[in-house]
A = this chain, B = another copy of it.
Amino acid sequence: MNIGEVSERTGLPAKTIRYYEDIGLVTPQRAANSYREFRESDVHKLAFLGNARGLGFSIEDCRALLTLWEDRSRASGDVRQIAKDHLVEIESKIAGLQAMRATLSDLVSACAGDDRPDCPILKGLAG
């Protein structure tokens, strides 16, 4: 299977798939014309990667998860730990963004937003 079809089937841009090969996440075979030749197992890996990235796992997390996925004798505790750590990160990002939203929406609602120069937002940002 060529990269275009894989791209369609996984939803990943061809550029991304090439990048994943570059960094060793997938290793498709090569045809005589130097085209990449993807097997079903490559497509599954790439779909897995797409899902993991979609959940915000870093590439290195993905690499670890992929290794565990391929390891039939893995301990599910290892997977769970990675996921839990990531969950904590996500939660702290959410908290940070919510704090931003709170401050910012206060400022926005305090600002008349008309032609006059008086602006509580700028005042807020100034300190």
Residues on A close to B: CB < 8 A?
A: 44, 47-48, 51-52, 54-56, 65, 68-69, 71-77, 79-81, 83-84, 86-87, 90-91, 93-94, 97-98, 100-101, 103-105, 107-108, 111-119, 121-122, 124-127
Q: Are B126 and A80 in contact (CB under 8 A)?
A: no
- The answer to whether A83 and B101 touch across the interface, beta carbons within 8 angstroms, is no
A125 to B55, CA, bound (A): 9
Contact partner of A105 (CB less than 8 A), chosen from B48, B72, B87, B100, is B87
CA distance A113 to B84 in the complex (A): 10
Q: For the complex, would chain A's binding face be called helix, strand, loop or mixed by DSSP majority?
A: helix
If A48-B126, A76-B121 touch, whether A101 touches B107 (CB-CB below 8 Å) is no
> Do residues A65 and B122 form an inter-chain contact, with CB atoms below 8 A?
yes
- Tell me the number of copies of this protein: 2
Q: How far does the alpha carbon of A34 sit from the alpha carbon of B118 in the complex, in Å? A: 39
Which residues from chain B contact A79 at a C-beta distance below 8 Å? 111, 113, 119, 121-122
Contact B76 A112 (CB under 8 A): yes
Instruction: Kindly report which residue of chain B lies nearest to residue A98, judged by CB atoms.
Output: B94
Question: Looking at A83, A112, A114, A126, which has the most chain B CB atoms within 10 Å of its CB?
Answer: A83
